[in-house]
Amino acid sequence: MTTMLATRPLAAHAWPGLIATYRDYLPVNEATPVVTLREGNTPLIEALHLSRLIGRSARIWLKFDGLNPTGSFKDRGMTMAVSKAKEAGSEAIVCASTGNTSAAAAAYGGRGGLKVFVLVPDGYVALGKLAQALIYGAEVIPIQGNFDQAFALVRQVADQYPVTLVNSVNRYRLEGQKTAAFEVCEQLGEAPDWLCIPVGNAGNLTAYWMGFSQFYQKGLVRKRPRMMGFEAAGAAALIHGKVIPIPNPETIATAIRIGNPASGVMAVASARQSGGTIDAVTDQEILEAYHLLARHEGVFCEPASASSVAGLLKCHDQIPEGANIVCVLTGNGLKDPDTALKGCTLRHSAIAPTLEAIAMAMGF
């Protein structure tokens, strides 16, 4: 009798990563050395509690991109950016980051054998994201300044030194990120009526719009959604239909603590073209949505991600009857345990390890 499992060949239906899946829609060729962690194919989860709360026979769905290999949608862009950097012969990459871009750059860059440099705003990166960048082996350079300052610096670094910039101004990033829109269409069988999405540096909103537009032009879907972007109120540089930089952005949602969004002009244009808008939500509204998602939907996202749901709740009176609405949850809640614990109460003192004491604690 054998006690060993037979080796199972990788099933033919196993998800091969988004470049292999959407190769025909992406600027890659036979010579592109694909660096993948099998990102993408994240679940579209029906938000039953939220749907009931909103009423109007609307169905609300959560595109949980926090289930990517490094825990955020940044992996979609990074598989493309790193593969193309390698194809171009680059040996190093650099980015400025509020945390998730650095985690993804560190993982994909390291896997691709590239040197990875990341500039982060000192003290404003969630603990899990910092741990990721370090453990994946990136050179982490904290600066005494915010994301916008870090970003201005990495642009200069990439101009003057032999290193590829992998922030979302790298055009391959948005190409990878648009695949999330493809997946949403395939998962719903049609494009949604609305897409609610957090807005930080403002690349992802346009990436989704590109994806929906591409499927629409191919005739694979019959409509495109209204793009509803939501910034944090303390970092709301885009809400008046143009880019008005905020010098000192502040929000609990550190992933979108960005005062001068690099892709702001494009995001405003995409939202307008779609018949949608970019609005702002307060930290209070973000935290309420964050807790609601965890408690009632069983979905733990990071605070910035919850701005899509906070925005939906804010605009609930505009929701059409019977609408299909997708809220993008950009990152995983485990990245920011500090914010999670701050909003909850933990029993401070341990109790005696007896049945009586435990039953009493449980209220029986």
Ligand X SMILES: *Cc1c(COP(=O)(O)O)cnc(C)c1O
Positions touching ligand X (CB under 6 A) are: 72, 74, 100, 168, 198-204, 255-256, 302, 304-305, 330-331
C-beta closer to ligand X: residue 201 or 324 = 201
Minimum Å distance from CB 299 to ligand X?
14
Minimum Å distance from CB 156 to ligand X?
20
C-beta closer to ligand X: residue 54 or 95 = 95
C-beta closer to ligand X: residue 74 or 86 = 74
- Among the listed residues 185, 230, 193, the one whose alpha carbon sits nearest the alpha carbon of residue 56: 193
Minimum Å distance from CB 357 to ligand X?
41
C-beta closer to ligand X: residue 203 or 323 = 203
Residue 107 phi, psi (nearest 5): -70, -50
Minimum Å distance from CB 188 to ligand X?
22
How far does CA 286 lie from the centroid of its chain? Answer: 15
C-beta closer to ligand X: residue 75 or 193 = 75
C-beta closer to ligand X: residue 259 or 331 = 331
C-beta closer to ligand X: residue 226 or 335 = 335
- Among the listed residues 191, 192, 193, 198, the one whose alpha carbon sits nearest the alpha carbon of residue 74: 198
Minimum Å distance from CB 100 to ligand X?
3
Per the CB < 8 A criterion, the answer to whether 85 and 167 are in contact is no
Q: Residue written as tokens 């910092």?
A: 130
Minimum Å distance from CB 201 to ligand X?
3
Minimum Å distance from CB 310 to ligand X?
13
Kindly tell me the burial class for residue 187, based on how many C-beta atoms sit within 10 Å of its own C-beta (0-12, 13-18, 19 or more): middle
Minimum Å distance from CB 70 to ligand X?
10
C-beta closer to ligand X: residue 61 or 151 = 151
Minimum Å distance from CB 330 to ligand X?
3
C-beta closer to ligand X: residue 21 or 330 = 330
Residue 297 sits at the vertex; the CA angle it makes with 295 and 301, to the nearest 5 degrees, is 80
